Structure 1
């Protein structure tokens, strides 16, 4: 019913990256990657894997003039790589992320001017996606555990921005791990956000491992998504709690309805 993908940055970590991609593909999953500049793109193409998502920029932010220009410039570079990988979705955040997921341009507060600037930047991103035939996805993050200081981090923020731009080439990457930490009420959230969702990412809380290792009852969320008519991508962006193969099977089981 759903298209299942797995982030190669977080599982099979004992293997070289290209071998991780092959292992995920052999198990029948699509593949997601983060910063494409850290990988051999020709080698990734040679795996024959289906790539569902990748980071859609190298640097920049949504709110400053230099940052927005940088984000758009590096988004164009990312589109060329996405075409080589036949990857339909490119992921964005409120600002560039550095080491350990910390924001390159942290924000103590988000002002009205910042909201307007983010709307303008994302409108330009959507036009870029329309011309290239790809979809950019704005991901929500949590600021309590993993990404303190990221502006427009909550799912409520990303939903408001994507709805305001209202383009088929700018959608949500709705990350339920981050949303559980920051907001909760996940089934109601997915129902409200579904018209704007480009894909959904999952991991359990606490620990950010596969479904079944924490407090989120993902089978209930899977049923709610199915009943609401969602047939898109659900991606595991999680650490394996033990065996990689078992972790991926638990993910598959949670979203088999």
Structure 2
């Protein structure tokens, strides 16, 4: 059996989406047993005892970096920065180095709290300034904030700065090692396609890559994306960073993780 240690990438899995019949702490332990980093969503959500998570000994790679707020509205910006500060404190409990952001706050269904039909030039300018302030928080605290692209047609209609090109533009404008892209290839496939080209264009600014197949948002091999080819292309580009399975398990979760690990351990 191929192990995560054989991959040229640092592999991770989202505990919110696999072993969902188990309590969260047991999911964390199952993922860690496979040699994978563990990712979680909203650290302030019900059932999230960070001290208990830390006691598992798991390596946590990423968690949500805000609770409320957005990048463009005056009150939303201050909410975002305030909750980012609280997120930094929470991340320190579990030793989590990456904190994830979106273009705006999302509700429990993943829909934007403030839907946007058109992103204006003024909104772009305010978002860039907010990202500079976020990067400064990251620098002061020694963490990296990652800005994730989302898809509009299926999961997150009305979310501003949703395309990979949008997140790349904001991250590149700030140009700080404490603000990087979370390039989500599931969302990119639905919204834009061109996954390998998008990876290549984004390479200097990527802090993490997340994956799931399309349609269905399950493990590689359940949909239309040739993730083995994507993995080989990433290795060929010299990417050695994090690849995280943020996907539901179709069938047995242990088998889903096996498939993910083998897919992202390309053979020469």
- Above 0.5 in TM-score? yes
30, 37, 43: which one pairs with 2:52?
A: 43
Shift of 1:68: 0.4
The question of 1:30 aligning with 2:37 is answered: yes
SS of residue in 2 equivalent to 1:52: strand
Shift of 1:37: 0.4
24, 27, 30: which one pairs with 1:17?
A: 24
Under a length normalisation based on structure 2, what TM-score does the superposition of the two structures give? 0.95
Taking the aligned partners of 2:154 and 2:235, their CA distance within structure 1 comes to 30
RMSD: 0.6
Structure-2 residue corresponding to 1:160: 169
Taking the aligned partners of 1:124 and 1:104, their CA distance within structure 2 comes to 22
Structure-1 residue corresponding to 2:243: 234
Runs of 4+ displaced beyond 3 Å: none
Structure-1 residue corresponding to 2:234: 225
Query: 1:1-257 alignment to 2 at 5 Å?
Result: 1-38=8-45, 39-257=48-266
Taking the aligned partners of 1:92 and 1:253, their CA distance within structure 2 comes to 29
Aligned residues: 257
1:8-31 C-alpha deviation (Å, 9 max, x unpaired) = 000000001111101111122110
Taking the aligned partners of 1:144 and 1:156, their CA distance within structure 2 comes to 16
SS of residue in 1 equivalent to 2:109: helix
Q: Which runs of 5+ in 2 are unaligned?
A: 1-7
1:85-118 C-alpha deviation (Å, 9 max, x unpaired) = 1111000000011021001111011001100010
SS of residue in 2 equivalent to 1:136: strand
Taking the aligned partners of 2:94 and 2:105, their CA distance within structure 1 comes to 22
Under a length normalisation based on structure 1, what TM-score does the superposition of the two structures give? 0.99
Taking the aligned partners of 1:84 and 1:216, their CA distance within structure 2 comes to 36
